[in-house]
Amino acid sequence: MVVVALALGGCATVATNMSLVRQRAAFDLSCKEPINVVELGNGDTFGATGCGNKATYVVKCTGNTATSCTAFLNSEPKPGQPSPQAPAP
C-alpha cells in the first residue's frame, strides 16, 4: 500500500514536466526556435537542446499539483549539435 501512495504522490506528468523544461530552456538558452526536450530516464531529469546549445534540467515539486513544480538548470549550457535550419525559400 505504501508503494501505491508514493506512486500517486507525484506532482505532474512527464509531458507537463517536459513543457516546464521547454519554457525554462528557451529563457536559459536565449532561444526563440523550438526547444527539443528528452526525458533522461526517471521522469524528473531532462535534456534540452536548441539554438546550438544543450543543457540538463531537473524538475522539483513542492506540493502535489503541477503548479507546484519548477524546472531547474542542472548544468551549464554547452555547445551542442546545431539545430536544423529551415530550408531557404
> What pLDDT is stored for residue 29 in this prediction?
92
Question: pLDDT for 31-84, tens place per residue?
Answer: 999 999 999 988 899 999 999 999 999 999 887 776 889 999 998 878 765 544
Contact in structure between 61 and 73 (CB atoms under 8 Å): no
Residue type, 38: V
Cα–Cα distance between 17 and 46 in angstroms, integer?
Answer: 9
* Greater pLDDT, 4 or 20: 20
**Of 54, 56, 55, 66, nearest to 17 (Cα)?**
66
> What pLDDT is stored for residue 8 in this prediction?
37
> What pLDDT is stored for residue 3 in this prediction?
33
Residue 11 pLDDT level (bands cut at 50, 70, 90): low
Cα–Cα distance between 48 and 36 in angstroms, integer?
Answer: 6
